Amino acid sequence: MSNTNQLELAHSIIESLVDHTRVVSDLIALMAQALDSDTSKALTKTPQWEAYLESRRNMERAKEEIDKFVEFMKQNPKES
């Protein structure tokens, strides 16, 4: 398998994981909207909710870094 094909495969796998995470995040947001106000407020004050938000921010940064990495590898195929 060529370096380009390996890079495309890695990008495809990572993109699938990022997309899945986005879908799950959207589902969590929808489910949170279905809760009553008091329950929603209580939920957003938990360590689990904070961890979820931090994870979501990290995933957004990771997606940007993945895109930069792919562009770098396309421009510098001998580096891989």
Residue 8: its pLDDT value, please? Answer: 81
The parent domain of residue 46 ranges over 3-72
Residue type, 37: S
Residue 50: its pLDDT value, please? Answer: 93
Residue 45: its pLDDT value, please? Answer: 93
Residue 79: its pLDDT value, please? Answer: 53
Domain contains 78:
no
Residue 23: its pLDDT value, please? Answer: 92
Q: Which two tokens stand for residue 58?
A: 């990290």
Domains of the chain: total:
1
User: Angle, to 10 degrees, between the axis of helix 3-34 and the axis of helix 47-75?
Assistant: 160
User: What's the CA gap between 36 and 28, in Å, rounded?
Assistant: 14
Walk along the chain (80 residues) and give the pLDDT tens digit of each residue. Answer: 677 777 788 888 888 988 898 899 899 889 888 988 899 889 889 999 999 889 888 888 888 888 888 788 778 766 55
User: What's the CA gap between 52 and 70, in Å, rounded?
Assistant: 27
